[in-house]
Amino acid sequence: MLPPDSSHTGGLYKLMLEYPLRHGKALRPALSIAVCRACGGYPAAILPTAAVLELYHNAFLVHDDVEDQSDMRRSEPTLFRKYGTPIAVNVGDGMLAMAIQPLLDNIERVGLGKALKILQIVSRMARETAEGQMIELDWVRAANWMHGNGDYIRLVYKKSAWYTFIAPIMAGAVAAGLSDTEVSRLGRITIPLGIAFQIQDDILNISSSEDSYGKDFCGDLWEGKHTLILIHALRCSMPSERSKALAILRRPQTATVRSGEQLNTKSEDEVAFLLEIIERSGSVSYAKMIAQRYANRFKRDLQRTSRSWAPSIHKDFLFELADYTIDRTN
Amino acid sequence: MLPPDSSHTGGLYKLMLEYPLRHGKALRPALSIAVCRACGGYPAAILPTAAVLELYHNAFLVHDDVEDQSDMRRSEPTLFRKYGTPIAVNVGDGMLAMAIQPLLDNIERVGLGKALKILQIVSRMARETAEGQMIELDWVRAANWMHGNGDYIRLVYKKSAWYTFIAPIMAGAVAAGLSDTEVSRLGRITIPLGIAFQIQDDILNISSSEDSYGKDFCGDLWEGKHTLILIHALRCSMPSERSKALAILRRPQTATVRSGEQLNTKSEDEVAFLLEIIERSGSVSYAKMIAQRYANRFKRDLQRTSRSWAPSIHKDFLFELADYTIDRTN
């Protein structure tokens, strides 16, 4: 092939490193490594894949921050705020482009069969995530916030559970050499954990201090994000309050001005009103209860599924993760 | 694996189809199919890859239109203008996610060796494109328009030649079963064609009517795009005019307003001034001459390289393409 010319890249790779160097939790690589080792696989069999999963996560964050117009990410300004939309969109694309080669190199590392299965999982993951993101953007576009819990669960399954839990756990299991049936079963039982994780994420956005959280405090309300908390609060509100809340949610967070036109944006008071109906409806406690229920279901299913696995700190980590998922503060 | 739930996708796939259904030239698939057939390969060996290359192109267009804030694409409003930045970013991501699976399915179609080589080429292509895009965004950020022809050529090589010409031609040659050496040589001789194509693109942006062009007329000037034409005009202008032009180029095309701040944007008169120095410097004729030179070089090299190929309409098409590249009007 043509010799690569890596000296001229406009600083692309330095910008790709910004989010990964901001001390994320590295949850996805940790999860895939833990599953691989708990099932008797070697670290080397999963490490590059684990890195690719973290790369995907960070690419999604870069693009999400553009889509949500977020100001803060991991306690620093978002890439989009620092460098603008064009650079942020392209840095995310560059990260997605980087993800393919290490998965091809897996062939020499773990053999053709496993490498191809991991490629299939990652390909599916990227599609599910885009579909999930699209469902939510479509709700935003239709200015629709009246959804059942089932709609929310389906959204989270695609938008966040697939790339945060399902793909890392399935990839780890493949790398360890588990059968297709076992890999699928592990993927299935992981879904409730992914849902519990996202509900806790929504809770943190509304109840943490900005300092420990690292993202925009109440950013979800400013943005009008479809959280279980907000969906519950709207469902439980009086019709007049619900109408007022929906009118607020329909207003944008920021406005793009072109040839003089201007749009009404949300005010501090209006976001405070949303917070008020959430408090009055007990929606945060409700969300905590639901998250707990999903986390418990994961633990129960993992107990059954992992009966034949030898005891290990990696297996213990997976159980601890269920508690961490709903107890974490960032 | 888990059963796919394709009924809930928020309309993602309908939006993905918007640009492909707007009658693009389908240059990249045409090119890869022509090379494959000219070298004795079967259409079935390259068709899915050809479709993936067109998918990538359209994904890049969707994101480019966000990055450049373009209004028109293929004679209709851009996806970003119709549905907003968040949806456009995500639709592009969805298209990139879709591209992996057909390349994995190539294994059964053309065999493992060819399929992996094509995956390598596409992976490299995606990286080169992101690097090229970054080089230009970096120039924009540094408000730097004083570049030599060599800088411009290197930019175009990465940003546009790789995914428009080099990857399609190499993929077609791989699918036909050419050796690694032959594939590399074909890739190398294709670079000048890619450069000629981009220079012609820049010429069309400045000299076409919006009707036949399908994109924003003089959009490159509004956007401050680094074209050979603009670089030449700045180089040939008097210092006072150059300073004035640079001051105009540094102003944004549109302004994003947040909490009241407002930015000065370019005016019609200012863009007319840029057009004036371009006309005075004869920069369009200069660009035409350079494009002609590169197109001729490609024809000469292809003549040598294709000596052993049997005569075919596919081979003829490749030679005609060199003329089309610099004679086209859209």
Closest-CA residue of A relative to B13 is A131
Question: Who among B101, B129, B184 is closest to A1 (CB)?
Answer: B184
- Asked if residue B243 belongs to a domain, the reply is yes
Nearest one of B45, B322, B35 to B185, comparing CA atoms? B35
- Asked if A228 and B42 count as a contact pair (C-beta separation under 8 A), the reply is no
Q: Could you give the CA distance from residue B53 to residue B35 in angstroms, rounded to a whole number?
A: 14
Indicate the length of chain A as a whole number.
330
Task: Give the ipTM of the model, two decimals please.
Answer: 0.92
* H-assigned helices in A99-179: 100-110, 112-141, 149-156, 167-176
- Asked if residue B177 belongs to a domain, the reply is yes
Nearest one of B89, B99, B76 to B28, comparing CA atoms? B99
In tens, the pLDDT along A95-129 reads 999 999 999 999 999 999 999 999 999 999 999 99
- Asked if residue A109 belongs to a domain, the reply is yes
Q: Could you give the CA distance from residue B102 to residue B288 in angstroms, rounded to a whole number?
A: 38
- Asked if residue A187 belongs to a domain, the reply is yes
- Asked if residue A1 belongs to a domain, the reply is no
Residue A232, token pair as written in the block: 């519950």
Closest-CA residue of B relative to A94 is B130
Q: What is the CATH number of the domain that holds A221?
A: 1.10.600.10
Query: Which residue(s) pair with B77 in the sheet?
Result: B72
Report CB contact under 8 Å: A63, B89. Answer: yes
Element (H, E) at B259: none
Segment A53-78 shows an average pLDDT of: 95
- pTM for the predicted model, two decimal places: 0.92
Lowest average pLDDT, out of A156-170, A270-284, B242-256, goes to: B242-256
- Asked if A62 and A88 count as a contact pair (C-beta separation under 8 A), the reply is yes
- Asked if residue B2 belongs to a domain, the reply is no
Segment A271-280 shows an average pLDDT of: 94
Question: Who among A8, A130, A154 is closest to B94 (CB)?
Answer: A130
Q: Could you give the CA distance from residue B4 to residue A119 in angstroms, rounded to a whole number?
A: 16
Q: Could you give the CA distance from residue B204 to residue A212 in angstroms, rounded to a whole number?
A: 53
- Asked if residue A14 belongs to a domain, the reply is no
Task: Report pLDDT for A92.
Answer: 98
In tens, the pLDDT along A294-307 reads 999 999 999 999 99
Which residues from A are below 8 Å from B256, CB to CB? Answer: 254, 256-257
Domain count of the fold of chain A = 1
Q: Rounded to the nearest 10 degrees, what angle do helices A149-156 and A112-141 cross at?
A: 140
- Asked if residue B10 belongs to a domain, the reply is no
Question: Who among A1, A12, A122 is closest to B124 (CB)?
Answer: A1
Nearest one of B191, B149, B145, B188 to B295, comparing CA atoms? B191
- Sequence letter at residue B289: M
Q: Could you give the CA distance from residue A37 to residue A117 in angstroms, rounded to a whole number?
A: 18
Nearest one of B329, B68, B56 to B201, comparing CA atoms? B329
Task: Report pLDDT for A5.
Answer: 63
In tens digits, chain B (330 residues) has pLDDT values of 566 666 789 899 999 999 999 988 899 999 999 999 999 999 999 999 999 999 999 999 999 999 988 899 999 999 999 999 999 999 999 999 999 999 999 999 999 999 999 999 999 999 999 999 999 999 988 888 989 999 999 999 999 999 999 999 999 999 999 999 999 999 999 999 999 999 999 999 888 655 555 666 688 898 889 999 999 999 999 999 999 999 999 988 766 554 445 567 888 899 999 999 999 999 999 999 999 999 999 999 999 999 999 999 999 999 999 899 989 887
What distance in Å separates residue B136's CA from the closest CA in chain A? 7
Which residues from A are below 8 Å from B255, CB to CB? Answer: 257-258
Q: Could you give the CA distance from residue B147 to residue B117 in angstroms, rounded to a whole number?
A: 35
At A257 the three-state DSSP class reads strand
CA B221 remoteness from chain centre: 17
Using the structure block, give the residue that is written with the tokens 């993101």: A133
Residue range(s) defining the domain that contains residue A255: 23-327
